[in-house]
Amino acid sequence: MHESVQKIKESIIEGRHKEIESLVREICKTGIDLDTVIQEGLIAAMDVVGQKFGAGELFVPEMMVSAMTMKLGLNIVKPLLTGKAGAPKGTVLMGTVKGDLHDIGKNIVIMMLEGAGFQVIDLGVDIDVEKVVAKVIEIRPQVLGLSALLTTTMPEMKRVIEELGARGLRDRVKVMVGGAPVDAAFAEKIGADGYGKDAAQAMALARSFVGL
C-alpha cells in the first residue's frame, strides 16, 4: 500500500485528529486516485476500528474520535471528488431510519455516491416514515437509500416500503437498504430493490438503478 495512505489509515485508527487534514491535503496534491485514499485509507481505517471495537480492544469514546478524524479527512477529499463530476447522474435520497442515530456508514455511502456523480439529499438520522414519503414526493429521487444499524430499527425499512406502496409511489423510486445488521435476505423479504454491504456496493447499486 502507498506509504502515505497507510499513514492516513493509522492516523484514523489512533484518532490523531490534529494531523489528519494536513496528511490528506498532502496526499491529494500528489495526484493519487482519490478512490484509493477513500477506500484504502479512510474506509479501511474505520473497518479496523469497527473490528477492534467488536473485539473489546477499544471503546465508544475512542471510536467517536476515530470517526471524527475520518470525517475531517473526508471533508478534505469531498470537494475534490465533486469537482471532477459532470452533470449529476441522478438523485439519491438517503437517511437513517426512525429510532436510529447511527450515521457514520450512511455518511460514507453518501460520500461515495457524490464521488460517483450523484446528487445526494441527506435526510439525516431518526427519520420517520412520513418524512421519507413526503421527501420522495417532493424531490422525486430515482433512488432511496435507507440505513439501519440496530436490529430494533430494521423493521422501519419495511414500513417505509409499505407506505410507498400504499401511496402508489413504489414504482417511482428504487429502494436500497444497508447497515451492519441488514443482509440480502432481509432486503428481499421486505421488498427492497437491493442491498449493499458497503459503500462500494451502494454506489454500484445506485449506478445500476439509473442504467449506468
**Would you say 141 or 179 has its CB closer to ligand B12?**
179
Strands of the sheet with 143-147, listed across from one edge: 119-122, 91-96, 143-147, 174-178, 194-195
The yes or no reply on residue 109 touching ligand B12 (CB under 6 A) is yes
Residue of the chain from 1, 101, 134, 137 that contacts ligand B12 (CB under 6 A):
101
Q: Quick one: 26 or 197, whose CB is closer to ligand B12?
A: 197
CB of 186 vs ligand B12, minimal distance in Å: 12
Minimum CB distance to ligand B12, residue 29 (Å): 26
Is residue 145 close enough to count as binding ligand B12 by CB under 6 A?
yes
Smallest separation (angstroms) from ligand B12 to the CB of 54: 5
* Strand, coil or helix: 194: strand
The partner residues of 121 in beta bridges, in order of sequence, read 93
Q: Compute the distance between CA of residue 38 and CA of residue 43 in angstroms, rounded to an integer.
A: 6
For residue 22 the three cell numbers come to 494536513
**CB 53, min distance to ligand B12, A:** 5
Given a contact cutoff of 8 angstroms between Cβ atoms, the answer to whether 192 and 198 are in contact is: no
C-alpha cell at 155: 423493521
Query: Cβ 44 to ligand B12, closest distance in Å?
Result: 10
Q: Which is nearer to ligand B12, 90 or 179 (CB)?
A: 179
Measured torsion, CA atoms of residues 44, 48, 54, 55, in degrees rounded to the nearest 10 = 160
184 binds ligand B12 (CB under 6 A): no
Rg, Å, the chain Cα set: 17
Phi, psi of 109 (to 5 degrees): -60, -45
Is 155 an interacting residue with respect to ligand B12 (CB under 6 A)? no
Task: Decide whether 27 or 92 has the Cβ nearer to ligand B12.
Answer: 92
Cα(13)–Cα(11) distance, integer angstroms = 6
Least Å distance, CB 143 to ligand B12, is 9
Q: Does 68 bind ligand B12 (CB under 6 A)?
A: no
- According to the binding rule CB under 6 A, does residue 202 interact with ligand B12? yes
Query: How remote is the C-alpha of 62 from its chain's centroid?
Result: 21
Q: Note the residues at the interface with ligand B12 (CB under 6 A).
A: 43, 46, 50, 53-54, 60, 63, 99-106, 108-109, 145-147, 149-152, 176-181, 196, 198-199, 202
